[in-house]
């Protein structure tokens, strides 16, 4: 039987009593789904999982994305991406700088992401303290706290999200050695449009869906108005009161909901402090067409507006 241990912060719960190397019962699956809606992220501590078992657990929640960074995949399981700063025989074994600023995964895709499922294998520590945490911000609460006139203004507006925005920001501001995207890579990831306010498929609550990583333009406004409103929304949603950080322990399986949260991989460790995490990206195809999403009106909001 699963036991929830909600954390004393704006997001996050631990779930005890699960063995994710085996399929969850239907009841336990529903408990996890509801917990994701309520808490934004869940941590299952002490999980010993093979990559194949991690994939099997993740794909219960939707189809899995195969990342464009094709060279950092688990051999034989391309749905598992390797996040790591470890270099072996002169070659990086994973992508070292993934997600190191605030963003929402796959908002640049016409089918958005639902979950990320990460398994912590090696966690950097200094003076006994874990480094390389993953921070989250609560976009349900951020929406809820917006002044009424802003809520009215953004209802019905849409934003363009572009993969290249975050990629270029990493190159420009974070000293990343990523090369610019090639025209072929850009053509594979054209900008997409999503409503600024989504309805959460699990809870039916409204969510502010505009992350600084990928949202670049509010389509119905002039350039100046769009810049001003996005600046306001980004500042609002990144207030500390909406944030919580997961501090990793080896064996953690961390699952988060990308619809109701934004996240940031905290880059506070050095190249000689190894971090190794395996990651699956679950798309929102199944959840947005589930009975739950239909009952909450989330499906119509997402598919009806673009």
- Asked whether 45 and 16 are in contact (CB, 8 A), the reply is yes
Q: Which of residues 275-304 bind ligand SIN (CB under 6 A)?
A: 277, 279
Q: What are residue 264's DSSP bridge partners?
A: 135
How many residues bind ligand SIN, per CB under 6 A?
Answer: 10
Separation between Cα atoms, residue 301 and residue 19, nearest integer Å: 35
Task: Output the CA torsion 112→85→255→293 (10° steps).
Answer: 0
3-state secondary structure of 5: strand
Q: Considering the rule CB under 6 A, would residue 83 count as an interface residue with ligand SIN? A: yes
Q: Which of residues 251-280 bind ligand SIN (CB under 6 A)?
A: 263, 265, 277, 279
**Structure tokens that stand for 36 in this block:** 């994701």
Q: Considering the rule CB under 6 A, would residue 116 count as an interface residue with ligand SIN? A: yes
Q: Considering the rule CB under 6 A, would residue 131 count as an interface residue with ligand SIN? A: no
Q: How far is the CB of 23 from ligand SIN (least distance, A)?
A: 24
Letter string b/e over residues 142-167, b meaning 16 or more CB atoms within 10 A of that residue's CB:
bbebbeeebeebbeebbbbbbbbbbb
- Asked whether 167 and 264 are in contact (CB, 8 A), the reply is no
Q: Considering the rule CB under 6 A, would residue 99 count as an interface residue with ligand SIN? A: yes
- Asked whether 256 and 87 are in contact (CB, 8 A), the reply is no
User: Contact letters (x/-) for ligand SIN, 218-247, by CB under 6 A?
Assistant: ------------------------------
Q: Which of residues 146-175 bind ligand SIN (CB under 6 A)?
A: none
**Structure tokens that stand for 38 in this block:** 């309520």
Region from 56-64, 98-106, 175-183, 209-217 binding ligand SIN, contact rule CB under 6 A: 98-106
Q: How far is the CB of 220 from ligand SIN (least distance, A)?
A: 29
**Structure tokens that stand for 236 in this block:** 């609002």
Q: How far is the CB of 133 from ligand SIN (least distance, A)?
A: 7
Q: Considering the rule CB under 6 A, would residue 98 count as an interface residue with ligand SIN? A: yes
Strands 276-283 and 215-218 turn out to be: unpaired
Q: Considering the rule CB under 6 A, would residue 134 count as an interface residue with ligand SIN? A: yes
Q: Which residues bind ligand SIN (CB under 6 A)?
A: 83, 98-99, 105, 116, 134, 263, 265, 277, 279
């Amino acid at each position: 039987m699963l036991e929830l241990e909600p954390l004393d912060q704006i997001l996050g719960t631990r779930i005890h009593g699960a063995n994710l190397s085996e399929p969850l019962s239907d009841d336990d699956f529903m408990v996890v789904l509801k917990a994701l809606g309520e808490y934004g992220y869940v941590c299952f501590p002490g999980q010993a999982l093979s990559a194949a078992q991690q994939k099997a657990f993740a794909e219960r929640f939707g189809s899995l994305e195969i990342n464009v960074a094709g060279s950092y995949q688990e051999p034989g399981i391309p749905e598992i991406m390797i996040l790591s700063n470890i270099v072996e025989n002169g070659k990086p074994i994973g992508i070292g700088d993934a997600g190191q600023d605030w963003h929402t995964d796959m908002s640049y895709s016409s089918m958005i992401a639902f979950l990320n499922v990460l398994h912590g294998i090696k966690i950097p520590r200094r003076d006994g303290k874990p480094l390389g945490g993953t921070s989250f911000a609560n976009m349900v609460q951020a929406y809820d706290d917006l002044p009424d006139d802003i809520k009215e203004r953004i209802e019905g507006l849409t934003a363009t999200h572009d993969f290249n925005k975050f990629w270029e920001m990493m190159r420009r501001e974070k000293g990343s050695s990523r090369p610019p995207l090639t025209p072929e890579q850009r053509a594979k990831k054209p900008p997409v449009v999503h409503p600024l306010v989504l309805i959460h498929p699990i809870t039916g609550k409204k969510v502010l869906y505009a992350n600084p990583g990928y949202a670049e333009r509010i389509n119905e406004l002039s350039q100046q108005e769009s810049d001003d409103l996005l600046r306001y929304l980004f500042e609002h949603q990144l207030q500390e009161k909406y944030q919580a950080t997961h501090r990793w322990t080896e064996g953690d399986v961390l699952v988060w909901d990308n619809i109701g949260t934004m996240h940031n991989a905290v880059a506070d460790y050095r190249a000689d402090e190894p971090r190794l995490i395996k990651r699956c990206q679950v798309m929102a195809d199944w959840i947005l067409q589930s009975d739950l999403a239909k009952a909450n009106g989330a499906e119509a909001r997402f598919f009806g507006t673009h």
